Amino acid sequence: MLLTVGILLFGLIILIMGGEFLVRGSTSIALKAKISPLVVGLTIVAFGTSAPELLISVKAALAGSPDMTMGNVVGSNICNLALVLGLTAVISPIHVNSDSIKIDWPVAMGSSLLLYFLLRVISPSLTWIQGLLFILLLVAYTFFIIRKSRKETKAQMTDVDIPAASNSPVKDILYILVGCLGLYFGADWFVGAARSLAFDLGVSERVIGITVLALGTSLPELVTAVVASVKGETDLAVGNLIGSNIFNILSILGITSMITRIDVSSEIINYDLIAMIIITMIVLPLMLYKRKMGKLSGVLLLLVYVYYTYSVVV
């Protein structure tokens, strides 16, 4: 058991480092190619930071563990909005940007409802057709955000931290190679250890996906949000977390289902997906109230997360 947990944690560390190396190398090459920092931030950096979740989802699906794939995505979305956002609001008040209410939240809710509709009404499986639909929606959303951002005053700025370009193309390529290797082997170790942990604990792969995998892949967002809240820099917290949820559904499930079919269990469709939609709905009035999320909102979200996790495990 201890060895399994050790491999799980080691795989997670390698995954996160692999994503970081991939972002640094790819971003440096893109900036040297005179690509706008705004475009780099909304595409390469956004994709690179979600690469660990993507590799985990693909690996789990190919290994015959679709519940881990869906549990990872759904659980990560719930973790972002309930645990990470809740903890951030408890530490420091969050001022809500109007774009988070008018654009990000509707797209996140629409993506969640679309996923539920496809699985509940059309078919309890995601195939390349649904995957292609998700990718097309993501491309349309990304182009919309880029066009909107360019029309605003800070046309060349983005909310995402962009690493500076290096002076060596060889170093950039080495970063990318090391990043890809880290993502590949990290995902392999992480998913393998998670499956072993489920067997050792006598719980379903769905439970491991929603708790262990989801929390593990949300750790970077959690650390970033907590550090920002301690510094009092929480203005971007809501938008970044909701944007991550949009990317999880449209990109991760989109790409994974185009690679291999994802058969979704009835428990995830009838309970976890509904929980994700309800939590997304709860966030809206909390954002609208005085356009600020304080300690009370944070405590409420944390209680929701604790209750949901308890209900899944027990």
pLDDT in tens, 144-203: 877 776 666 444 444 555 566 667 777 777 877 887 787 777 767 777 787 777 777 777
Which tokens in the block code for residue 46?
Answer: 């956004």
Helix (H, G, I), strand (E, B) or coil at 34: coil
* Predicted local confidence at residue 219, as pLDDT: 76
Packed helices 214-231 and 2-32: angle between N→C axes, nearest 10 degrees: 60
What confidence tens digit (pLDDT) does each residue in 61-110 have? Answer: 888 888 888 988 999 899 989 998 998 888 888 888 777 788 889 999 99
Residue 28 pLDDT > 70:
yes
pLDDT at 230 over 80: no
- Per-residue pLDDT at 155: 42
The pLDDT score that the predictor gives to residue 210 is 87
Region label for 123, one of left (φ > 0), alpha (ψ between -120 and 50) or beta (otherwise): beta
Residues β-bridged to residue 292: 95
Residue 17, pLDDT score: 78
Which residue did the predictor score with more confidence, 209 or 23? 209
How many CA atoms lie within 13 Å of 61's alpha carbon, on the beta-carbon side?
27
pTM comes to 0.82
Question: Terminus-to-terminus CA distance in the chain, angstroms?
Answer: 20
Q: Which amino acid is at 246?
A: I
pLDDT at 31: 67
pLDDT of 113 strictly over 90:
yes
Whole-angstrom distance, CA of residue 102 vs CA of residue 145: 12
Output the six-digit token pair for 72. 């990872």
pLDDT at 132 over 90: yes
Closest listed residue to residue 17, CA positions, set 184, 172, 160, 167: 184
Contact 91, 229 (CB under 8 A): yes
> Which one-letter amino acid corresponds to residue 267?
E
Provide the token pair at 224: 């970033």
43 or 52: which leads in pLDDT? 52
In whole angstroms, give the CA distance from residue 191 to residue 184. Answer: 11
Mean pLDDT of 133-153: 80
Domains of the chain plus CATH, in order, are 2-313 (1.20.1420.30)
Q: What gap in Å lies between CA 89 and CA 238, rounded to an integer?
A: 10
Average pLDDT over residues 200-211: 81
78 contacts: CB under 8 Å, gap ≥ 6:
210, 214, 272, 275, 276, 279, 305, 308
- Residues 273-304 pLDDT 10s: 999 999 999 999 998 887 888 889 999 999 99
Query: What letter does residue 291 receive in the DSSP assignment?
Result: G
3-state secondary structure of 199: helix
Q: What pLDDT is attached to residue 299?
A: 94
